[in-house]
Amino acid sequence: MSGNGANLKSWVARNRYSSLAHYAGAALAVWVALSLWTFSPVLHRHLFVLLLAAVLFTARFIGFGPAVFCSLVSTACLDFFAVPPYLHFGIRTGADAERLTVFLAISVFAGSMARQKTLAESRAERTTREMAAIVEYSADAIYSTGPDGLITSWNRAAEQLYGYTPEEAVGLSVARLAPPERQAEVDRNLEILNRGGHVASYRTERMRKDGTRWPALLSVSALRNARGEIVGTSAIARDISAEKQSEEAMRRSEKLATAGRLAASIAHEINNPLEAIVNLLYLARHDSFHAADYLTQAEQEVGRVARLAQQALGFVRDAGAPGSMDPAAIMDEILQLYSRKLDGRRIRVTRRYRGSCQVNGYSGELRQLLANLLVNALDAMPDGGSLQVRVATGRDWSDGREGVRITVADNGSGIPRNHLRQIFEPFYTTKKDTGTGLGLWVSRGIVQKHGGSIRVRSRASGRSTGTVFSIFLPQQHEISRVA
Binding site residues, ligand ATP, CB under 6 A: 372, 376-377, 380, 410, 412-415, 423, 428-431, 435-441, 467
Smallest separation, CB 435 to ligand ATP (Å): 3
230, 196 contact by CB (below 8 A): yes
- Interface residues toward Mg ion, by CB under 5 A: 376, 439
Nearer to ligand ATP, 327 or 439 (CB): 439
Smallest separation, CB 378 to ligand ATP (Å): 9
Strand 230-239 relative to strand 151-154: parallel, antiparallel, unpaired? Answer: unpaired
Q: DSSP states of 456-482 as a string?
A: EEEE-SSSS-EEEEEEEEESS----S-
Q: Which partner from the list ligand ATP, Mg ion, none does 413 bind, CB cut-off 5 to 8 Å by kind?
A: ligand ATP
Nearer to Mg ion, 145 or 376 (CB): 376
Nearer to ligand ATP, 186 or 423 (CB): 423
32, 54 contact by CB (below 8 A): yes
Q: Which partner from the list Mg ion, ligand ATP, none does 273 bind, CB cut-off 5 to 8 Å by kind?
A: none
Nearer to ligand ATP, 147 or 435 (CB): 435
What distance in Å separates the CA atoms of residue 236 and residue 166, rounded to the nearest whole number?
Answer: 16
Closest CA to 476 of 300, 261, 324: 324
Nearer to ligand ATP, 234 or 429 (CB): 429
Q: Which partner from the list Mg ion, ligand ATP, none does 467 bind, CB cut-off 5 to 8 Å by kind?
A: ligand ATP
Nearer to ligand ATP, 303 or 382 (CB): 382
Strand 385-395 relative to strand 347-354: parallel, antiparallel, unpaired? Answer: parallel
Smallest separation, CB 355 to ligand ATP (Å): 25
Smallest separation, CB 159 to ligand ATP (Å): 41
Separation in Å, CA 87 to CA 103, 354, 428, 482? 19, 111, 89, 87
Phi first, then psi: what are they for 224, rounded to 5°?
-120, 155
Smallest separation, CB 438 to ligand ATP (Å): 4
Q: Which residue is nearest to ligand ATP (CB)?
A: 439
Q: Which residue is nearest to Mg ion (CB)?
A: 439
Q: Which partner from the list ligand ATP, Mg ion, none does 314 bind, CB cut-off 5 to 8 Å by kind?
A: none
Q: Residue 197: helix, strand or coil by DSSP?
A: coil
Nearer to ligand ATP, 221 or 465 (CB): 465
For residue 154, what are the β-bridge partners?
A: 143
Separation in Å, CA 456 to CA 115, 260, 263, 292, 432? 63, 26, 28, 53, 22
Q: Which partner from the list Mg ion, ligand ATP, none does 407 bind, CB cut-off 5 to 8 Å by kind?
A: none
Separation in Å, CA 58 to CA 44, 154, 312, 344? 22, 40, 85, 93
